[in-house]
Chains A and B, each alone.
Chain A
Amino acid sequence: MASESYPEDLLYHSEHDWARIDGDEAVLGVTWFAQDALGELVHYEAPDLGSSVSKDASYGEVESVKAVSDLISPLSGEVLEVNQTVVDAPETVNEDPYGDGWLIRIRLSSPGEKDELLSADQYRKVLEDA
């Protein structure tokens, strides 16, 4: 299992999701806190390629033995790629939530939405206040 971290180069959503923006695309995943709260993941219900995801709405699910959790998208866009590694081995998210455990890559439809997301410091504050 990975140890707790919230990389500075990512943007965060208060529902424990992160985004790594690169031009008009973004890679999305869940935070260390989310995977720790769920425990070892055993299923990733991924969205279809080409489907739309909307900021603050569910685009899929991850499940541990005990629990199901919606994946909340921090940004809106179109699904370009699903991480097949996580579909085949969901525990990859526990091992490397910000690297090999990414979930989808999207083309942004409203790039300005990123201004509403949290910095690593702001997200840490959300966790402290919870």
Chain B
Amino acid sequence: MQTLRRTPLHDRHVALGARMVPFAGWEMPVQYEGVIPEHKSVRSDAGVFDVSHMGEIEIEGPTARDLLQATLSNDVDRLEPGDAQYTLVTNEGGGIVDDVILYRLDGHRYLIVANASNAAAVFEWLKARELRGSDVRDVSDDFALLAVQGPRALERLGLGGARPFTWAMGEVDGVEVMVNRTGYTGEEGVELACMADEAGRLWDAVLGRGVVPCGLGARDTLRLEVCYPLHGNDIGPDRDAISSGLGWACALDTEFTGVERLRATKADGPAEKLVPFVMTEKAIPRHGMPVVGGGEVTSGTMSPMLEVGIGMAYVPAGSAKAGTELVIDVRGKERRGVVRKKPLYTKEQ
């Protein structure tokens, strides 16, 4: 039997009455009070997610930049110390080994935060391509990571505003944290990295400031409402980054693994595209449901804010335009939806 790993906050989740589930080899809280109230807390106020299961990989040395430029899709040279960037680890086919955030720590030191399910693969991928003068280290066990998200997140934490995709050292109630202006909910907020043995103190401080504990269930519905892809569902090694709608994270004027394929796909146009959609008939789309006439749903749920079924699907490029009707095979029943533009949910609605 496989033993599930636990974050430093495991006992606190259990004490709060969380429902714990296996996720990517970890035992994680899927919900506390319920997915819908947690989701709405993040949209209206502030919620905190334990995302300590995510992987942290440090790349250091005079050739660290060269290693990252050759393995990541985005342009590393756009980063000054203090900056962060959404980028992809690509394979030879232009497929996505993982989607990650890259932080430039200082002149020759970078940090990658990778998805839990891919952390080992990303580490091994980079380690195998290490250059003379670049050291790749898995530092995942050293850090805990809390995402604090929502329109009142900064106010509740006592933090000032800052440009998205930047980071700085800071402090929350005496706990030293790396404050990252990043997130996975479409709301304003931060991701706080601290030393693993300080995680309990930071969690207690954040809850003490009135932030609502939220599980992976709400994390999934929040990201889907704003059409952030989930690796393993919407994107993966067998789908190229252009078809996946992530061309904006690919600097095709730089040289990295798979770039020739991506340039060709961009020039010819992809055969299928990942599109967001909403249901116009009562039904909830789910991962793996066929799209009638070709294609497949990669993520789906009931949107807590829109109160209709929403999802993302690969459809033939000719059917990818916003406004195009699509029909989903919902366990044998045909249910209608319509392709929309990203994001599916915005504040103004």
A42 interfacial by beta-carbon distance below 8 Å:
yes
A43 interfacial by beta-carbon distance below 8 Å:
yes
* CB–CB B34/A39 < 8 A: yes
Q: Which residues of A contact B286 (CB under 8 A)?
A: 68
Q: Which of B247-293 contact A (CB under 8 A)?
A: 282-284, 286
Instruction: Name the CB-closest residue of B to A70.
Output: B331
Give which listed residue, B34, B35, B217, B283, contacts A43 with CB less than 8 A: B283
Q: Which residues of A contact B309 (CB under 8 A)?
A: 43
A63 interfacial by beta-carbon distance below 8 Å:
yes
**Beta-carbon contacts of B209-229 to A below 8 Å, as 1s and 0s?**
000000001001100000000
Counting contact residues on chain A (CB < 8 A from B), the size range is: 10 to 19
Pair count A-B, CB < 8 A: 35
B302 interfacial by beta-carbon distance below 8 Å:
yes
Instruction: Name the CB-closest residue of A to B221.
Output: A65
Q: Which residues of B contact A39 (CB under 8 A)?
A: 31, 34-35, 217
* CB–CB A66/B217 < 8 A: yes
A40 interfacial by beta-carbon distance below 8 Å:
yes
Output the least CB separation between B279 and chain A (Å).
10
- Per the bound structure, the CA–CA distance linking A66 and B31 in Å amounts to 11
* CB–CB A66/B35 < 8 A: yes
Interface on B for A, CB 8 Å cutoff?
A: 30-31, 34-36, 217, 220-221, 282-284, 286, 301-302, 304, 309, 331
With A40-B35, A42-B284, A61-B331 given, name 10 new contacts (CB 8 A).
A39-B217, A42-B302, A43-B283, A43-B302, A43-B309, A63-B284, A65-B36, A65-B217, A68-B284, A68-B331
Interface on A for B, CB 8 Å cutoff?
A: 39-40, 42-43, 45, 61, 63-66, 68
